Amino acid sequence: MICITCEKWEHQWATFASSCTARLNSLHPTMSLQELTSDVDTEGQSDGFRSKGQITMTKAIGDPNTTQTKRLAGNYSSVVAGIMYCSIQPGPQPLDSCSSPLPGPLRQVTLTSLTETGQDESTIPVLKQRSYTGPEVLPSALADTPCADLGIERVLMELNTTLGTSYTLHSTSSVLVPYITQGFDFGTAYAHLRPHWENISTLEHELSTREEKDREMRRSVLANDRITMRDVPHRRLWDLCANRVAPYWVACDEVEPSAISHAWVAAQDREYVMTSINGREWPVPMPKGVKLELIRIEMLNARSNRTPRLVRDYVWLDVLCLRQEGGKSKELLLEEWKLDVPTIGSMYQRIYPPVVYYFNGLGRPLHLLPGYFESDRCWFRRAWTLQELIQEPIIAGETGEDVIDEQLQMTFDRQLESSHRSFASILHLVSEMRHRDSTMPLDKVAGLVYPLAPTFIPVYDPNESPEDAWEVLMDVIDPSFRAELFFTYPAPGNGRKYWRPSWEQVLTNKIMARTVFMHVKVETVFWSDNSDADCYDCRYIMRGNVRDLGEVPNEPTPRQGEVVFHDNNGAKPHLKNRC
């Protein structure tokens, strides 16, 4: 018999009994629980827990010699193992609360290209992708192992050893059981538990609360096809220690993730990889021959070689953290993209921590060849990267070999320096975008959303035309940008409104901006959502007389006249005008 002596036994029993009953019903809808209980008697042997059979659970009541017995059985190995190992303990146990972790030495783990990908270190051109040694990181082999295969005792042992704690099975069983019964691998369990492991007594409640708050936040920021919060936390992050993509709500509140910026390679140079890193949710588009495991090693080295840490435990990488095509649900992709695509820019607009850049393609060595800057795959020519460069970039892919042509290096440095400038003018910003390339025409407009929209951001709809997306964006851009268009754009608009350019004009007009914006930089043109009216709050002339425009000059020159009006003091200022 096995004695359950946890003070929260009633709650645990109800949870596990319900879980197993549901599982049994799904597996054997025509078989009663009594029929299953007569299959195999495990007799407390761990090897029997992986087959179907009966489990006898006993609750101590007052006197340890007095017991009540409940029987539950099933043929689902992970559920059986979870119940036996996670909800009960052999022999008498004290009825105390969860113990606090006892600090201990952290295990140093070495990751190499050979152990992670089977590639010898000497064959890896990027130096920082060859090996890494540090604490709190999991080898891929351990991360990929199902918790049910490890068993509850081994799961706890690995957590204690990796995180330097001394928790007992008694204090952690209720926390660990879901990761066994629901079929999670150890990497996923580690990604969820590591940030909150020091507070094991509140961990379950903390994760549940954070998940619900995150769900409500993402629901509430969407209203009338707009995003009402500019800096929405990204939905997922790559946990470098666990080598798993984890929901944002799993990470601690103070986490400021790093980001990776890269130019996508051409379609013929890509492959699509199903990986446990993102739970095989969608095929990850990667440059051929590049391994995510090696990128992870480089990011860990960038993290450890700088003081203070500039690359964090968490990284945002679009191909892993932004849902990609080819996954299980097209509808889910479209729903997530509404919010996630327009707010990509928030990852790159922070001062700290800096961004890591792959200028030759994700994970590839930094090697500039003649023609790079003219290629439509050049990082400096891609539409999405316009919003991604910051003042102090971390350049990845370095090989330690100075093989770049001197002229190419000078051009690279000049491009890098020019990209740092702040786009204070909307006309300069859209003029820059006009010269960039994108796979989808809509991406050029989408790449302008975050830099231009200060408060309300339009949702992303991949089926929307660039022209319509531009008109929607113009309604919500910063009022000072609207004033710049109103006063300085050198032609009437041919779109929905005459005072601003259409998207067609943005793409075709080579003379986008005057060199001086003068005092109107501080002016604002507002837009009313209710009436779709634009207004400019300023002084104006109520009455005046125009003189001398009736005289048509003989030469083909503009006519020149004067506007005479009265100010409040009775003076008659004259304003010369040409037309």
For the chain, what are the domain ranges? 3-86, 108-216, 421-538, 545-578
pLDDT of residue 403: 65
484, exposed or middle or buried, with CB in 10 Å at 0-12, 13-18, 19+?
buried
pLDDT of residue 402: 66
Q: Specify the range with the lowest mean pLDDT, choosing from 14-28, 120-134, 321-335.
A: 14-28
- Is residue 507 a contact partner of residue 467, using CB atoms and an 8 Å limit? no
Per-residue pLDDT of 20-64, as tens digits, reads 554 444 444 443 333 333 333 333 333 333 333 333 333 333 334
Q: What is the mean pLDDT of the chain?
A: 79
- Is residue 159 a contact partner of residue 175, using CB atoms and an 8 Å limit? no
Distance in angstroms (rounded) separating the CA atoms of residues 434 and 446: 13
Q: At which residue do the structure tokens 């999991």 appear? A: 138
The arithmetic mean of pLDDT across residues 322-334, rounded, is 94
The arithmetic mean of pLDDT across residues 273-293, rounded, is 97
Category of 395 on φ-ψ map: left (φ > 0), alpha (ψ -120 to 50) or beta: beta
DSSP alpha helix (H) spans, 113-234: 113-117, 140-143, 147-150, 152-163, 169-181, 186-193, 203-220
Strand stretches in 431-544, DSSP E: 457-458, 525-527, 534-536
Sheet strands side by side (includes 355-358): 244-247, 236-239, 314-316, 258-262, 355-358, 394-395
Per-residue pLDDT of 60-97, as tens digits, reads 333 344 333 333 333 333 333 334 333 333 333 333 33
The arithmetic mean of pLDDT across residues 281-291, rounded, is 97
pLDDT of residue 85: 35
Nearest to 437 by CA among 496, 394, 374, 389: 374
Distance in angstroms (rounded) separating the CA atoms of residues 535 and 448: 23
pLDDT of residue 94: 34
**Helix (H) or strand (E) run with residue 336 in it:** helix 330-340
Nearest to 379 by CA among 393, 359, 365, 397: 359
Q: Would you call 213 helix, strand, or coil by DSSP? A: helix
pLDDT of residue 453: 80
pLDDT of residue 108: 93
Highest-confidence segment of 97-106, 162-171, 484-493: 162-171
pLDDT of residue 131: 98
pLDDT of residue 96: 35
Structure tokens at 284: 């990850």
Structure tokens at 297: 């090693």
The CA-atom distances, in angstroms, between 532 and each of 469, 474, 526, 528 are: 16, 11, 10, 5
130, exposed or middle or buried, with CB in 10 Å at 0-12, 13-18, 19+?
buried
pLDDT of residue 82: 37
Q: Would you call 575 helix, strand, or coil by DSSP? A: strand
Instruction: State the pTM of this model.
Output: 0.77
Distance in angstroms (rounded) separating the CA atoms of residues 346 and 348: 5
Model confidence at 377, in pLDDT bands (50, 70, 90)? very high
Distance in angstroms (rounded) separating the CA atoms of residues 364 and 362: 6
- Is residue 452 a contact partner of residue 481, using CB atoms and an 8 Å limit? yes
Structure tokens at 516: 């001086």
Distance in angstroms (rounded) separating the CA atoms of residues 250 and 210: 7
Per-residue pLDDT of 439-463, as tens digits, reads 999 999 999 998 898 888 999 999 9
238 has a pLDDT exceeding 90: yes
Tell me how crowded residue 452 is: count the other CB atoms within 10 A of its CB.
21
Give percent above pLDDT 90 in the chain: 47
460, exposed or middle or buried, with CB in 10 Å at 0-12, 13-18, 19+?
buried
